[in-house]
Structure 1
């Protein structure tokens, strides 16, 4: 047995005295989410929004056309409005966004579950596509810790070029910087995984059970994208529709009980329809006074759910005559969600764990 087989740092058997230390081989599990600004002040928001909105996977307009508009017009104003929205939901106790707080909790729960099952073979951590902690910094840390294999897990149930693909892009760019590249796997979308659907269904059932007056309809609100992306082959729209169908079937509900809508429209293009903010107002005007909204495309509550769904979309419904609006939180670090994520990770570790 070589020294490298022992815990911690060692020296390879029969290696010369000046051979660099060798870490015990591990497998890395790197969770990835969208990202978060470091603060809700103007400059923190500007740095974050500039990185996010400069991503060609997110905004694919030619740079010569988009960047002057972004840097001189959009980023002159939007950091103020976005910062004000973040301030409404900011975790002041930890001085971080809710997405950061929840992602930390998810990572801790997943790490504990995997350690209980597999001991110290795995190193579990998280990164953000935009902002901190960066993907590159976490890949570097895993390689330095002796991870010779890494499973990279974008925490998006549904595939989209602007989410899963750009996260993978950043992961591969980070690998390009490593002298000793680890073997790598990327976790695919899990929008129809039975345990994910079960976790969603349990969250809906708990909300219905807690409601004194039951909602008349459930709205499954997914993050939107330009309709053009669908026509170019992005499967996101179809995967969202299937998640809604599987959730409805698991709940045993009639088709008219659940509607699929899309939120977070940005820019002048037509996006996937119906738009959530318009749809809930239309429902109120049609006489649906009690609705619930769930956001299945988000693995953790964030600005798009806590401020947009539970703020702007709620207001749209009530201003149109709606009376009872129930927001069903994201799955976050609930036990059913953690079990689903751990199972997906283990499925993607097949053959690597002995």
Structure 2
């Protein structure tokens, strides 16, 4: 790579509806669930189910959930992602633009904005610490589709994962210790990762190995025993088996076995979003307390925390 060329950073996250309304949520979910990286069922079978059953039923429910977490500035994922891009640009003193795999701003529009600033080389950072075909590879696909629309494409480098990066582990540990200082240390720390169908892992997706290694490194950094920390998978959808253990079932078991207090975090998410602010912080808390648990402490994602921005800068620095 010729480092005399002007560089720019493309930060990529999954995406979010433009508004917490049923039409906006339907547009977003339709694009997201049409991606074969996300749902690999044959299109002739999946599309009628998606448009005839899933979207009509789920859209109003999901819109209400988004309304419950929506911030004054917009969707939490969008708000924190924009802050990340702004702080990273200030720290590195180079152009940084945000693109979403689904929804707005698109990856194509983000690349256009970078090239309008005379950027000749892109450093693409998908905000997924652990690699998965459902997320990281989907970014690569979207990048290729964007390039297909361009007469001249920029040189680029693609950061595939950072699940074991020392600054990532340090940032996670710092967020845990901060929670302990504010609320006290709970009986158990649960790391809840977004799930994928087990079949995907059986077919070669390395995501579960990355999640396990992140948890192991965090455990070592915090000095916790096997009885003080564990990991699970959340957000399963449909009838087939997903990666286990499941977050909800594990919380039920922990409560039933006498665990009174839980610290829970979502290391796979770079920004707080619907899955963390509603599914984990609200639904999982209700479930844990219904089953006999007493204290439930949700530890926020790294968001625009200073150490998180330093991690991104370090990841990008290897290509500068």
- Deviation of 1:141 (Å): 2.2
1:26 shift after superposition: 2.3
Q: Distance in 2 between matches of 1:123 and 1:335?
A: 19
Does residue 150 of structure 1 match 2:150? Answer: no
CA drift at 1:25? 5.5
Q: How much does 1:271 deviate?
A: 0.3
The residue matched to 2:141 in structure 1 has which SS?
helix
Aligned to 2:30: 50
Partner residue in 2 for 1:209: 181
> Which blocks of at least 5 consecutive residues in structure 1 are unaligned?
1-23, 116-121
Counterpart of 1:306 (choices 277, 289, 292) is: 277
> Which SS does the other structure have where 1:40 is aligned?
coil
User: Which residue matches 1:109?
Assistant: 87
Specify which of 270, 294, 297 is matched with residue 241 of structure 2: 270
Partner of residue 68 from structure 2, selected from 68, 71, 88: 88
Q: Quote the Cα distance in structure 2 between the aligned partners of 1:46 and 1:304.
A: 17
Q: Which residue of 2 aligns with 1:137?
A: 109
Partner of residue 234, structure 1: 205
TM-score normalised by structure 2 residue count: 0.97
The answer to whether 1:325 aligns with 2:296 is: yes
1:135-187 CA deviation, whole Å, 9 max, x = no partner? Answer: 11111222233221111110000000111000111012111211111111111
Task: Assess if the C-alpha contact under 8 Å between 1:263 and 1:277 holds in 2.
Answer: yes
CA RMSD of aligned residues (A): 1.1
Partner of 1:285: 256
Q: Please give the TM-score of this superposition, normalised by the length of structure 1.
A: 0.88
User: Do residues 174 (structure 1) and 152 (structure 2) align?
Assistant: no
In the alignment, the residues of structure 1 paired with residue 289 and residue 110 of structure 2 have an alpha-carbon distance, to the nearest angstrom, of: 44
Q: Per-residue deviation at 1:27?
A: 1.2
The question of 1:61 aligning with 2:41 is answered yes
Structure-2 separation of matches of 1:259 and 1:206: 19
Mapped partners of 2:68, 2:159: distance in 1: 33
Q: When the two structures are aligned, how many residues end up with a matched partner?
A: 317
Provide the C-alpha distance between the structure 1 equivalents of 2:217 and 2:263, rounded to a whole number of angstroms: 18
Structure 2: unaligned runs, 5 residues or longer: none
